[in-house]
Amino acid sequence: MPWVAGVDGCPGGWVAVFGPSDGHDPENIRARVLPSLEAICDAPEAPGIVAVDIPIGLPDRVGPGGRTAEVLVRALLGPRRASVFPTSARSVVYAPDYTAAIALSRRPETQPFAPSPPAQAIFPRIREADGLLRARTELQARVYEVHPELAFQGLNGGTPLPEPKRKPAGAALRRDLLARAGLPA
């Protein structure tokens, strides 16, 4: 059976939810925490698609809104786009510390903004994904960057969700959308 994996960073590694790619066997969904993105790609399920909530593809220079991916996702999400912060250029992401990242970001050939603290916090995960996909180029055909809020908007008939995910009503709506898509509670 072909598998897909939905992935996000978590304390202790990466949480992965594996499911059949055809979606016809929701009882066969498996969730676990693995230590690395590579471990997910190499898991016994051998997912044909690894959908990860992490920026993939680091350019040498980015514009005011970050990479093209972030600019496009913000436009699709409309006003509820707070979780889409701009990703920095490769040299900034690989800077040894936050001070160095800010210094690199002030160079006109790099980017016109300093990395935000939330962006800086996920730089280790971005570096992990970037390093893995550069070292094992065959994974580039399997590993895809995704944005959860865009997925929820798709499950909501293309309409942006009215409540943020951190509010009880927003969390309940997201759980309801997942249940309507056939995922077990």
Rounded Cα gap, residues 70 and 119, in angstroms: 13
- Cβ contacts of residue 163 below 8 Å, gap of 6+? 169, 170, 173
pLDDT in tens, 3-51: 999 999 999 899 999 998 776 776 788 999 999 999 999 999 999 999 9
SS3 per residue for the chain: CCEEEEEEEECCEEEEEEEECCCCCHHHCEEEEECCHHHHHCCCCCCCEEEECCCCCCCCCCECCECHHHHHHHHHHCCCCCCCCCCCCHHHHCCCCHHHHHHHHCCCCCCCCCCCHHHHHHHHHHHHHHHHHHHCHHHHHCEEECCHHHHHHHHCCCCCCCCCCCCHHHHHHHHHHHHHCCCCC
The residue-averaged pLDDT of 157-182 equals 91
Q: What percent of the chain has pLDDT over 70?
A: 96
pLDDT tens digit sequence for 55-92: 999 999 999 888 999 889 888 887 765 678 889 999 99
56, 144 Cβ separation under 8 angstroms: yes
Q: Which residues pair with 18 in a beta bridge?
A: 5, 30
